[in-house]
């Protein structure tokens, strides 16, 4: 869930992809399988698909069917990720990307969805963001070290930040890029 729900436009529509996602995702092979979790307007799904990746774009908002459904390389799946079990338990992905979305109970499934040798790229708001506006509900703000704890013992951390940013607006952000070491297999 996200606190700023209620907008009439798809979140992220028209936005530029995150520099963090581009930095780490840019190293993927062109035919990689990517899942964009809570994809919104699909800024990352589109960016990966433009690079030749096969992208599964998932959101509960059915408008993704019309906004992303016709984009080459993107498959859309409308799903509420907060009711019941993770719908992609039988699959793993070369890259699991999540931005500006947090539903804590999903974290183990998201980490578990990273394929052998695959990447986990996550960026969302962190504790302290309440000083700047929404999201301010602690349910939607990562606690210090929370992404590190989520991957501990499973993925090797390539990059991690817990920082205040100024762009596109002042915010507290936590982000991680981590890899499942080849040969260790999914959790
Ligand atoms: C702030 S937007 C972020 C969109 C995109 N990840 C980005 O950064 O541009 C949050 C997205 O989470 C989706 N979302 C919220 N609750 C959800 C749920 N229970 N299941 C699936 N998607 C959900 C919303 O529909 C929305 O598109």
* Residue 187 domain-assigned (yes or no): no
| Residues contacting residue 159 through CB under 8 Å, at least 6 positions apart | 20, 23, 24, 175, 176, 177
Is residue 14 assigned to a domain?
Answer: no
pLDDT the model gives residue 182: 86
Q: Tell me if 54 is assigned to some domain.
A: yes
Residues with CB under 6 A from ligand 1: 1-2, 11-12, 15, 38-41, 43, 59-61, 80-82, 99-101
pLDDT of residue 102: 98
Distance between Cα 58 and ligand 1 center (Å): 9
Look at residue 5 and tell me if it is in a domain. no
Q: How much is the pLDDT for 31?
A: 93
pLDDT at position 13 is 41
CA of 70 to the centre of ligand 1 (A): 20
* Residue 6, in any domain of the structure: no
Nearest CA to ligand 1 atom 15: 1
Per the structure, the count of domains in the chain is 1
**Dihedral over Cα of 163, 128, 42, 97: its sign:** positive
The answer to whether position 185 is within a domain reads no
Range(s) of the domain holding residue 37: 19-179
- What pLDDT shows up at residue 15? 86
- Span from the CA of 39 to the centroid of ligand 1 (angstroms): 6
Written as one string, the DSSP assignment of the chain is: --TTTT-SS-TTTTPPPPHHHHHHHTTS-TT-EEEEET-TT-HHHHHHHHTT-EEEEEES-TTHHHHHTTSTTEEEEE--TTSSS-TTTT--EEEEEEES---GGGHHHHHHTEEEEEEEEEEEEBTTGGGTSS--SGGGSBPTTHHHHHHTTTSEEEEEEEEEE-SSSSEEEEEEEEE--TTS---
Residue 61 Cα: closest atom of ligand 1:
25
pLDDT at 148: 98
**CATH number for the domain including 161?**
3.40.50.150
Spell out, as residue ranges, where the chain has pLDDT lower than 50.
5-8, 13-14
What average pLDDT does the chain have? 93
By most ligand atoms within 8 Å of CB, the mutation choice from 2, 84, 95, 104 for ligand 1 is 2
Does residue 184 sit within a domain? no
Ligand 1 atom nearest the C-alpha of 13 is: 9
71 inside domain: yes
Q: Whose Cα sits closest to atom 26 in ligand 1?
A: 40
């Amino acid at each position: 869930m996200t606190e700023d729900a209620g907008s009439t436009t798809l979140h992220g529509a028209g936005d530029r992809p995150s520099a963090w996602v581009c930095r780490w995702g840019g190293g993927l092979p062109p035919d990689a399988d990517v899942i964009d979790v809570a994809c919104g307007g699909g800024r990352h799904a589109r960016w990966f698909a433009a690079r030749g990746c096969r992208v599964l774009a998932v959101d509960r908002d059915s408008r993704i069917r019309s906004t992303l459904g016709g984009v080459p390389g993107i498959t859309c799946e409308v799903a509420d990720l907060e009711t019941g079990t993770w719908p992609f338990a039988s699959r793993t992905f070369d890259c699991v990307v999540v931005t500006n979305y947090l539903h804590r109970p999903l974290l183990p499934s998201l980490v578990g969805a990273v394929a052998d040798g695959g990447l986990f790229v996550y960026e969302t708001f962190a504790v302290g963001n309440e000083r700047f506006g929404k999201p301010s509900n602690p349910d939607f703000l990562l606690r210090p070290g929370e992404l590190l704890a989520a991957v501990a013992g499973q993925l090797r951390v390539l990059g991690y930040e817990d920082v205040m940013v100024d762009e596109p607006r002042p915010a507290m952000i936590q982000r991680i890029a981590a890899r499942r070491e080849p040969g260790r297999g999914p959790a």
